[in-house]
A and B are shown apart, each in its own frame.
Chain A
Amino acid sequence: MTNSEPLRTEVLSRKDIDNKIRRISSEIIEKHSDRPVAFVGIHTRGVILAQRVFDRVSRHRTDISQGTLDIALYRDDLDNLGTIPSIRGSDLPFSVEGSHIILFDDVLFTGRTIRAALDELMDYGRPARIELAVLVDRGNREVPICPDYLGHGMNTSKAEHVLVCFDEIDGKEGVYTVIGETR
Chain B
Amino acid sequence: MITEPNPSPVHSRKDLLDIESLSAEEINHLLETAKPFKELFTRSVKKVPALRGKTVLNLFFEPSTRTRASFEIAAKRLSADVTNLAVSQSSVVKGESVLDTVDTMQSMKVDYLVVRHGAAGIPNQIAKHSPASVINAGDGNHAHPTQALLDAFTIKEAMGDFSGRKILIAGDILHSRVARSVSICANKLGMEVGIFGPPTLIPHGHPDYFHTFNSFEHALEWEPEVIYLLRLQLERQSAHFFPSLREYHQVFGMTRERFELVSRKGIYIMHPGPVNRGVELTDEVLTYDRSLINRQVENGIAARMAVLYWLQPGIPSPTIEEKAET
Interface presence of B39 (CB below 8 A): yes
Of B6, B10, B32, the most chain A CB neighbours within 10 A belong to B6
In the complex, which residues 14-35 of chain B have their Cβ closer than 8 Å to any Cβ of chain A?
29, 32-33, 35
A74–B6 touching, CB < 8 Å: no
Number of residue pairs across A and B with beta carbons under 8 Å? 86
CB distance from A136 to the nearest CB of B (A): 13
- Bound Cα distance A87, B9 (Å): 11
Contacts of B9 in A (CB 8 A): 86
Secondary structure type dominating chain A contacts:
loop
Contacts of B78 in A (CB 8 A): 73
- Bound Cα distance A142, B2 (Å): 10
A73–B50 touching, CB < 8 Å: yes
Interface presence of A76 (CB below 8 A): yes
CB distance from A115 to the nearest CB of B (A): 9
A123–B1 touching, CB < 8 Å: no
With known contacts A83-B7, A113-B3, A116-B2, A89–B39 Cβ distance under 8 A: yes
A89–B35 touching, CB < 8 Å: yes
Segment from A8-16, A18-26, A54-62, A104-112 that makes contact with B: A104-112
Proximity bits, B132-157, A CB within 8 Å = 1, else 0? 00000000000000000000000000
CB distance from A160 to the nearest CB of B (A): 11
A123–B48 touching, CB < 8 Å: yes
A90–B45 touching, CB < 8 Å: no
Interface presence of B310 (CB below 8 A): yes
Proximity bits, A84-126, B CB within 8 Å = 1, else 0? 1111111000000100000001010110110010011011110
With known contacts A84-B310, A123-B43, A73–B5 Cβ distance under 8 A: no
- Bound Cα distance A77, B37 (Å): 20
With known contacts A74-B48, A124-B43, A83–B11 Cβ distance under 8 A: yes
Interface presence of A43 (CB below 8 A): yes
- In the complex, which residue of chain B has the Cβ closest to the Cβ of A71? B3
Contacts of B49 in A (CB 8 A): 73-74, 119
- Bound Cα distance A81, B33 (Å): 18
B48–A88 touching, CB < 8 Å: no
Total interface residues on A, CB under 8 Å, equals 40
A83–B5 touching, CB < 8 Å: yes
CB distance from A50 to the nearest CB of B (A): 15
B7–A89 touching, CB < 8 Å: no
CB distance from B14 to the nearest CB of A (A): 12
Contacts of A124 in B (CB 8 A): 43-45
Interface presence of B257 (CB below 8 A): no
Interface presence of A70 (CB below 8 A): yes
A83–B2 touching, CB < 8 Å: no
With known contacts A72-B6, A84-B312, A158–B1 Cβ distance under 8 A: yes
Contacts of B6 in A (CB 8 A): 43-44, 72, 85-86, 88
Contacts of A75 in B (CB 8 A): 2, 5, 50
Interface presence of B203 (CB below 8 A): no
Contacts of B310 in A (CB 8 A): 84
Q: Which 9 A-B pairs have the closest CB atoms?
A: A89-B36, A85-B5, A123-B45, A73-B48, A86-B8, A112-B2, A73-B50, A113-B3, A110-B1
Known: A73-B309, A123-B43. 16 other contacts (CB 8 A): A42-B3, A71-B3, A73-B50, A83-B7, A84-B309, A86-B8, A86-B33, A88-B6, A89-B35, A110-B1, A113-B3, A123-B44, A125-B43, A140-B1, A182-B4, A183-B4
